[in-house]
Amino acid sequence: MTLGPSTAGILFLYSIICTLGIGAVFWAALAFIVGWLMTTLVAAVRGEHAPTQPTSSPQSDALTAYVRRALQAGANDDQLLRRLERQGWTEDEIIQAIQRVQEIPDAPNASGAA
């Protein structure tokens, strides 16, 4: 008997028949795991993964840079909130910008200065 694809197929069928179908569960699980690993590895190699940080708009980047500069100049959160609401920003946008600045306090602003 020579080894080849037909021999592998016969062994596959015998494993299912001799175990009364339990072998099929094993082979199905193995096929699923191998398929999942292959698609995950291919996606990782191609760089197709979910972004780790949400992308932001130029407007929110500008708001964050403004908030960073204002806080560095000594403004407090309440002053910023009132001033920016008068300029048309929503409270949620302002709070998110303040939180981004507080999470990464040393990040450079839009002008490139630290």
Comparison of pLDDT for 67 and 57, the residue scoring more: 67
Residue closest to 76 by CA, chosen among 58, 57, 94: 94
Confidence (pTM): 0.45
Burial of 62 (0-12, 13-18, 19+ CB in 10 A): middle
Q: Is 111 helix (H, G, I), strand (E, B) or coil?
A: coil
User: What does the mean pLDDT of the chain come to?
Assistant: 81
Contact 100, 71 (CB under 8 A): no
